[in-house]
Structure formats: C-alpha cells, structure tokens
Structure 1
Amino acid sequence: MVSTSDETTPLIPEAGIGSQTSQAEQNTNIEDGSIREGQSPKEDLPKSKIGIIAVLLVGVFIANSDGSLVLATYGKISSDFNDLESGRWLLTASLLASCAAQPLYGKISNIFGRKHVLLTAYSIFGLGCIISGSGHSMTQIIIGRVVGGAGGAGMVSLVSILISDLVSLKDVASYRSYVNVVQTTGRSIGGPLGGYIAQTLGWRWPFYSEFPVVLLAIILVAWKLEVPKREGHIEESPWKKLKRIDFVGSAFLSVSIIACLLALNFFSNAESWSSLVPIILAVVAILLMIAFCLVEKFWAKEPIFPLQLLTKLDTCTSYVILACQMAAQLGMMSSVPLYFQVTKRAKSGEAGAYLVPAVVGNTVGGLITGAYINRSGRYKLPIVLSGGLAAIAYTLLIVRWRGHTKIWESLYVFPGGLGTGIAYSAVFIALAASVTEDEMAIAGTGLYTSGGIGSVIGISVSGAVFQWWTKKGLENALNGVENGLEIAQRALSDVGYVNNLEGYIHGLVVDGYLTGFRAAFLVSLIFSASSFTVSLLVREHNLRS
C-alpha cells in the first residue's frame, strides 16, 4: 500500500500489496515457518488462509459475547452486593478500558510482533475473567472488567490487522465480513447464554465459562498462527524493543481518552450543565491531549500514534464516518428496548428482541459489502450508501413510531444496522488504501478506537437528550393534572411505575416519553447525516490488481 497513489492507481500488484521484494527476499522472509520457500505472504493457499482466520475468530467471538453477557447479568450482580448504583460501571468500565488500550496495540504489535501481542491480549482478557468471577466486592469485579476490556481491545483489532497482513487488500473486505458475522453471533449468543448460566449456576459462572474458551484460543494461536515477517524487519533484543515504546505518550493518550469518556458519561447523568465533576474531567482531558500532541511531535522517537496520520484526509474521514455510525446506532439501540417497555408494556426480554433486526442488519451489511468490494474493487459507493440508509431508518423512527408501533414497523431499525454493517467493512478498506503497510497497524487500532469513542458519545449524548426532553414532555403532558409533578418524577425514574398506570394518565405519560424518544432518534439522525456528508469527501483508489 502506498499513500501517494491517485484515485486510479492500482494498489495491489500481482504478488500482493506493496510486494516489491525480490525472489531471494521472499525465500528468506519467514517467521515461525509460516511461508514456504519462494512463496509470498499473500499468496497462501485458500485453505491455509481460512484455517488461520478461523483460529483468530475464536477470540473475536469470545470478546464480543463478553459485552452482552454482562448486559444480561449486571443487574443480578449489583443486586447481590446491594449496590445497584454501581451496576452501570460493570458495563462502562470495560468499554472505557478498551478505548484507552486500543491505540497502543498497533505500535506495540509492530515492535514485538502480532502473534506475541495477540497472545498477551488473550492472557490479559483471561485474567480479567478470573478476577471478575472471583470478585467479593463490586470494586473487585469492576477492576476485573477493566482488565478484561484492556485485553479484549487487542483481541478484536489485531485480527483485522492480521487479516490485512495475510491477504491482498481487495480480499480483506470479504474476510472481514466473516469477522462481522462472528462478532454479531457473539453479541447475540452472549446475553441469552450468560443469563441462562447465571440463573442455573450463579452469576460467577458466566465469567468462569469464558476462561476455557480463551485458553483454547491461546493454544490455537500459539500452535497454528504463522505470521510473515514484515519487510525491513530487524531482530532486536527484548530490552531494545521495550526501549522503543513511547510510554509517556501512551500514558497521556490513554488517560486523556478515559477522562474524555468519563466527562461525557457524567455530563449525561448530571443534574445541570454546570456540574463541576464533568467540567473538571473535560478540562483534564483537553490538557492531557495537548500534552500528548507535544510529546509525539517534539520528544517521542517512535510515537505511539504518529500525528501525521491525522493530516491525511482519507484517514480522518474513515475515523469520523465510523465514529458517527457507531454513535447513531448505539444511541438508537439504547432507546429502542425502553420504547417498547413504555408503549407496549413489554418485558425486558421481549423489548430486547426488537433490536434483533438491527443486529441482523449489521451482519447482512458486512457480507454484502465484502462481496461487492471483492468483485468490483470499489468501496466509496458502500460508504456513501451506509450513511443514507441509516438516515432513512432514523427518519422513519421519528415520523412513524408514535406509540402504536406495529410489528412490521419495528423493522425500521434494520436499515440502521445495515448502514453500520456496511460502513464497518468499507471504511476499513478505505483506511487501508490510504496508509502504508508500516502505518496500517497503528491506523487500524485508531479506527477501532474511533468506533469505541463514537459508541460512548452516542449513548451519552442520546441519553442526556432523552432525559431532558422526556422530563419536559412529562411536565407539559401532566400540567394541570393532580399530583402531576410527582407522577412525572416517578415515571421518569421507574418504568415499572409507568406500566402500572392505567387509562388517561398512562396515555399522558406515554406522550411525554414519546417527546424524549423523538429527540433521541433525532440525535441518531444527525450523526448518520454527518456520516453521509463526510462520506462524500472519501477519495477512492482502484483496488484491482
């Protein structure tokens, strides 16, 4: 891959991306016995590729099932410790740690090798499972979630980077569509399976049950994964490799991301915009990010995240598009179950089932996009369509979901998921086409970081907007009703109370909630429209060889 290509320059020579090594160099370009003599890394036999990627997908599955597993069990865990207020940290702690650790994996894998760093990520995730499962306090379990999140970040992002190492760029979209399927399957199975295990054996066993799968993944990767050496690779001692890590820049970057996401989280739950804690965290995040930029520009010999990547239009557009798409979908998904609980008195399991079309849309979008890019060598059209499809979905939710939603109307969330699935596959190819091979690992983990940050922004902003407008809607709807203010306050804090209301009062409360839902869906529409607008700036390279 070369960064100087114009819009019609083929990025894939016959021997693979950027493959300009001589036959003699190819004969010696072997790490762990991965390439037979005279064979280029990206000319592996199809069965070999499929076997390697199948091994990698075990980790992808367990990392994605972990999030939905905790979603199904956090209420029981926090109830057992009589600490419902801390229950949400079981969900957010892992996400915060993942966003903070994500940018580090790219550079570190360049220094120590993909295989070693991936095995380390598995080990960290497994340790987090043990800490959470054996926790005797909410604090210990949350610490386990932080450790697990830091490991899970590498388990997912390094797989996509390894795929781009092993296959030609035009084929990457197809192979990443399989990753999307496994991710979706993991998220779909994790919740029901974790909930069942928790009900039958106790909430500790869902965490314990993850460890054998992680151990299997470690064994398979250590045994089967064979990674070609990167061009220009130089053997170094572990000490010299360690000295190359930009520890200062890494610390500033990680802490600034955590401070930023915590500020968003506290803002979304604050009683007013002038609350002191989120303001302090926001200021700290800005100062640390400035310090990080100064360190990377003037001090670090090998920056953990080279700032010049952010000067490339194609890199920035990829990051912004994925962040906006994830913000739009996660904002929507955080509102849909509550919508059906309020309007249809649906139970938690039934309400969650209304998200299935969006998850299916993610899978279908990834598969279609992979096949299209593999066949055509083009990726801009899918990126543009992704924002348009998502915007249509959120517009339909605003216009049509008025409290009496029919079953077929619940399928409006499908194009929202479809758009995100398309974007997830296509922007990775756009990013890969815009950077050099040496930059790909760092740029790729940056893309995953942008998606994670977008998810937190979507949930936080959508949640804050929903709370504010629902409060206003309830106050307006119940104005003049006896004990209207008390009803509004209780309705805003307890869905069970809403479901127990009857007749005219229940209708007024639902109307108040609908004000908040429309506002939340409007947030998703704005994010998806932003994604569509930015997608028009994407410059396309011809990926055909």
Structure 2
Amino acid sequence: MASISNDDIPPTERSTLLHGSRLFFVMFGLGCSVCLGALDQTVVATSSPKIVSDFNALNQISWIAGAYLLTETSLQPIYGKLSNIFGRKVTILFSVFVFELGSLLCGFAQNMISFIIFRAIAGVGGGGILILADTIVTDIVSAKDVGRYQSIINAFYGITTVVGPILGGIFTDHVSWRWSFFINLPLGAITIITVTFSLHSPKQTALLKNIKRLDVTGIAIIIVSTICILLPLNWGGNAYAWNSPIIIAPFCVGVVGYALFGFVESYVAVEPIAPLAFLHGMSFYSFITYVPIYFQAVKGYSATMAGVALAPYVLGFSVATAITGQLYSRTDKVTHRLLCLIGSAFMTISFGLITMWNENSGPGELIGFIIIAGLGAGIIFQDVLLCCQESIEHKDIAITTSLLMFFNTVGGVLGNAIIGNIFYTKLIQFSSSLALPQSFTPQSVYCIQFLPAETRSLVIHAYSMALHSSFIAFIPMCGLSFILSLFMGNIKPSYSEENLGRVI
C-alpha cells in the first residue's frame, strides 16, 4: 500500500467545524450508524441457534459471523485510506448503503448458502462504519471537545451492545429471526439522511487519479489469504481429514499470503499492538457466538433469556472501555502495559472459570464469570486503541484505526473457525454413541426439546461436553495476550492540561 503524503490528502471535514443543529444531526446520524455495527455483533448472537436450526446447518454456525467478518476484515485496512482519498462523507454513505443492502437480503434468505453470501455483502459495508464514525468526530469538533463527543458515540455503542442480545432473542421468540436484520433498515436510513444533508464534504477532483492510489494488490492478497485459512479451519476434521491435501494446501497458501501482506504493508507493523488486537478479536467474537448456544442448548433458555444472560458480558465490556478512557484522560499514574496486563488476566481467569460450566451451573456462576470476561475484553480493546492513536498524527487516525480493527476482526474470523471446528467435531463425537431417534439431528438446537426426557438429558450433556472443549481453547488465546502485554513497554498516557477530559 503506497504511503500518503500530506499533499495527497484532500482537505477534510476538519476544515469546517460544525455547530448547532448541524452538529446535532450529524452526531445523531453517526450514533445510529454505530448502533448498526454494535447490533450486528450482538443481536445476531442470540438469533444464530435458531437460524442454523431452521436451515439445518449447525456445522456452519461459525459462518454467520465468519462470512461477515471475512469481508469486513478484508476491507477494513483500506477504509481509512478511502476516507482520506474520497472524503469521509462519501465513504461512510457507501459503507452504510452496502451494509443495509446485505441486511435486507439476509432477512429474505431462503437457505444457508444464500444467507452466508448476503452476510458477506453486509460485511463489505460494515468494515467502515465503526471506523469512520469515530474518525468523523475528530473532524467536526475542536480537539478539546473530541472526548466529550466521542463519549456520546460510545454511549450509543454501549447501550446497543446491552440491548442487542435481548432484542435478538425477542425477535427470535416472538416474531422471526429475520427481524434481527430488518431492524437495521430504519437506523441506516436515519444515518444516510442526516449525513447527506448535514455533513459537509469537499468536492473531489482527479477521481481517476485517486482510484489509482488504491492498494489493489494488498486488498487481493488479504482477501485470498483469509479465505485460504478460513476454509480449512472450517473443513478440517469434518468434511476432510486434517492431513488431507485439500486442507494443507490452502492453509499454507494463506499463511504465505499473510506474510506477503505484512511485507507489502510493512509500515503498518506496530508490535505488539497488532497481535494483542488479533487475540482480542479471537476471544470476543467467538465468545458471543458460542455462549448463546450454551444457554439455549444446555440450560434450555429461550432466545430472549439467552440475550438477557449475555447482556452482562457486553455491559462489562462497555463499562470497562469507559473506565479505561477516563483513566487515560485524567491520570498518568497507570501505563498502557499495566492496563493490558489487567485486562488479559481478567480474561484468562474468566475463561478458566467458564470451563467449569455444565448442566447444573447456577446463575451466580454464569453471571459472575461473564462479567469478568467482559471487563477484561473491554480494558484490552480500549487500551490498545488508545495506545496506538496517541502516538500518531491526526491525519493518520482513520488509517491506523482501520488497521487495528482489521487485526481485531481477522482474529475474530479465525477464532470463530477454530472454536466452531472444535465444537462441532466434539459434538458429533459425543452424540454418535447415543441411541437417538432418526428424526433427530444435532444440526438443530431446537430439536432437543422434542426428545424424550432421558434421551434429552444425554444430548444436553453431549452439548455441554462439546462446549467445554471449545471453551478450553479460549485459555491459551488469553494467556498469550497476557504474555504479549509484558513487551508493550512502560508507556504512560499523555497527560496535560490541554488533554484533560479527552477520551478517544
């Protein structure tokens, strides 16, 4: 990806700060766009078991998040650059429109294959939403007000992440899981209308010249590499043996591709920030995908109650990001390394405790362990973002934020594939020895409730053991994050009277 000089970057929205009603409407529109990103991560979590049950495709549950994350991940590294080339307004409108199109198609999907394709389309748009909303705030308000207005954006995100799992459960239980996607349409429409009429964007000239500056080579490498790694992780042990050439060959191509991408984008490397973001994504996205299966399959919760049970995780995440931001802006007594160590320790401990879950686990164990995991994940995510943003110039914020999000979500793609493979392989292994009715298939979580009581308890135990094996895989991910935190250096947040109250 070619570097961008100051002369290459067109005048941004920062040249005209917004005030009054225009600022209000833009902030409201950006808040709605953030809700889109937050909803996609949480509302679908509690709908997923019903979706795969309707399509008889439990073995493909990782693709519900994976297909979206695949395209989102592949395009995130360039959204920051796109916004510098074409302007924030055009880029975020494009992002929201494509996301809306994908969501609409998902709501009408008739089989798992089409659903996966439509999720991938939504991911093309989703890759830029959160990044651009955060960046636009730094353009439209003065530096001393950035913290105040980004706190508003964070509030939209926090509220949505808490409400999302519950909303997904309500739709699934009382209307249809399809409304988990239709709900995005009015929010996206508000964003498009408010941004179109309220956000100023300089006219772009030399469009063809700008297009030529896009990193087509880097985009192609990362898309192909991600697909080559994702496919064998989903197929291995299920469709093909792990030592099959069909598994080994694409995996090797993917690894080489990522190494090549790292070389091409060599200016990107910020060690160990990128690996920390990568590991955070592996645990975060996998957690919100597979914990709802535990609540619905093992505990027998409805989708609504599974959403309520997951809420402490996203609540803990939101609280932790807010506290970390406040520590960043109000004191220089803590270091970035210390915060990441604390967050990683919380996550490692929580996932170690979560492996103890079984059919008889009580509410205290469930809620307490989930809150600890959410707090740890929130601390790491916010601290890594702050640490990186603090060391760069304003003109590079969009690009740097997009790259951090890229490492976070590529971790999510691979984490979902790994955890999904472990879960489904173990589920088939544990259930294969059971005398089950021919009408029953482990592909459908919702079939469990129709089994005879004695058989049902055996199947629930099989699900519990399969999830136990999956949860164990979280521990080394979080443990490695703790180890990498030791090498961050003893860097303290910037602290000055000018920076007081600033939360990014």
Q: How do 1:446-461 and structure 2 match up within 5 A?
A: 446-461=403-418
Partner of 1:98: 72
Of 361, 365, 376, the match for 1:405: 361
CA distance in 2, matches of 1:497, 1:119: 44
Say if 2:495 is the partner of 1:544.
yes
Is contact 1:331-1:520 (8 Å) kept? no
> Among residues 477, 482, 488, which one is paired with 1:527 in the alignment?
477
Cα pair distance change 1:333/1:149, threshold 3 Å: closer
- Normalising by structure 1, what TM-score? 0.74
Moved more, 57-66 or 265-274: 265-274
In the alignment, structure 1 residue 445 sits paired with structure 2 residue 402: yes
CA deviation after TM superposition for structure 1 residue 345, in Å: 3.6
Q: TM-score when scaled to structure 2? A: 0.80
Question: SS where residue 252 of structure 2 aligns?
Answer: helix
Residue from 329, 344, 347 that aligns with 1:387: 344
CA distance 1:49–1:366, shift in 2 (3 Å): farther
- Is the contact made by 2:13 and 2:139 (CA closer than 8 Å) also made in structure 1? no
Q: 2:251 aligned to 278, 282, 306, which one?
A: 282
Structure 2 distance, partners of 1:382, 1:47, is 38
Question: 1:360 and 2:334 equivalent?
Answer: no
Per-residue Cα deviation, 1:326-370 (whole angstroms, up to 9, x for no partner): 322333344433334455443444344322211111111112112
| 1:96-147 CA-partner distances (Å, limit 9, x unpaired) | 2111111111122222222221122122223334444566776555443322
Distance of 1:407 and 1:269 partners within structure 2: 34
Partners in 1 of 2:361 and 2:309 — Cα distance? 11
Highest CA radius of gyration, 1 or 2?
1
Could you tell me how far 1:499 is from its partner in structure 2? 7.9
Matched residue, 1:309: 268
Give, in whole Å, the separation in 1 of the partners of 2:261 and 2:14.
39
Contact 2:449 2:456 (8 Å CA) reproduced: yes
SS at match of 2:361: coil
Report what 1:113 is aligned to.
87
Mapped pair 1:369 → 2:324 = yes
Distance 1:273 1:208, change over 3 A: same
Amino acid at match of 2:364: W
Question: How far off is 1:73 after superposition?
Answer: 5.6
Matched residue SS, 1:245 = coil
- Partner residue, 1:18: none
1:518 pairs, out of 446, 457, 468, with 468
Residue pair 2:106, 2:118 contacting (<8 A) in 1 also: yes
Contact persistence 2:68–2:119 (CA under 8 A): yes
Q: Does 1:245 align with 2:196?
A: no
Instruction: Give the aligned partner of residue 63 of structure 1.
Output: 37
Distance change (3 Å), C-alpha of 1:239 and 1:187: same
Distance 1:340 1:59 in 2: 29
- 1:221-264, Cα deviation, whole Å (9 max, x unpaired): 2333357x9xxxx9752122112222222222222223323333
Matched, 1:429 2:403: no
1:271 & 1:541 partners in 2: Cα distance?
49
Give SS of 2:272's match: helix
Decide which of 337, 353, 367 is 1:396's aligned counterpart: 353
CA RMSD of aligned residues (A): 4.1
Other-structure match for 1:24: none
Matched, 1:264 2:233: yes
Aligned letter for 1:532?
F
Match of 1:14 in 2: none
Q: CA deviation at 1:419?
A: 1.0
| Match of residue 338, structure 1, among 263, 270, 293 | 293
Unaligned runs of 5+ in 2: 1-5, 497-504
Deviation at 1:170, TM superposition (A): 9.2
Distance (Å, rounded) in 2 between the aligned partners of 1:461 and 1:448: 20
Q: 1:47 to 1:269 in 2, by over 3 A?
A: farther
What do residues 163-203 of structure 1 show as CA deviations (whole Å, max 9, x unaligned)? 45567889867755554443343344445546666788767
Alignment check: 8 A CA contact 1:266 1:277 kept: no
Matches of 2:204 and 2:443 in 1, distance apart? 60
In structure 2, relative to structure 1, the CA distance for the partners of 1:502 and 1:316 (3 Å cut) is: same
In structure 1, the residue matched to 2:501 is: none
How many residues align? The count is 482
CA displacement, residues 447-483 of structure 1 (integer Å, 9 cap, x when unaligned): 11111122222222223334455566678xxxxxxxx
User: Which amino acid is 2:268 matched to?
Assistant: L
Task: Identify which range, 375-384 or 415-424, moves more after superposition.
Answer: 375-384
Does structure 1 residue 324 correspond to structure 2 residue 279?
Answer: yes
Q: Secondary structure at the match of 2:494?
A: coil
Paired with 2:163 and 2:351, the residues of 1 have a C-alpha distance of 26
What SS does structure 2 have at the residue aligned with 1:404? coil
Alpha-carbon distance between aligned partners in 1 of 2:146 and 2:194, rounded to the nearest angstrom: 22
365-374 vs 169-178, greater mean Cα deviation? 169-178
Give the aligned residue type for 1:405.
S
Which AA in structure 1 matches 2:320?
A: G
Tell which deviates more after alignment, 424-433 or 87-96.
Answer: 87-96
Instruction: Give 1:462's match in structure 2, choosing from 419, 423, 428.
Output: 419
1:225 paired to 2:199: yes
Asked if the contact 1:122/1:214 (under 8 Å) is kept, the reply is: yes
Task: Give 5+ residue unaligned stretches, structure 1.
Answer: 1-20, 22-28, 36-40, 297-305, 476-483
Aligned position for 1:12: none
1:491–1:197 distance in 2 versus 1, CA, 3 Å: closer
Q: CA deviation at 1:283?
A: 3.0
Spell out, residue by residue over 1:295-318, the C-alpha distance to the aligned partner (whole angstroms, 9 max, x if none). x3xxxxxxxxx31221xxxx2322
SS at match of 2:236: helix
**255 and 211 in structure 1: CA distance in 2 versus 1, 3 angstrom threshold:** same
Superposed, 1:5-16 pairs within 5 Å as: none
1:416 aligns with 2:377: no
Tell me how far 1:526 sits from its aligned partner. 1.6
**Matched-pair contact (CA < 8 Å) for 2:163–2:311:** no
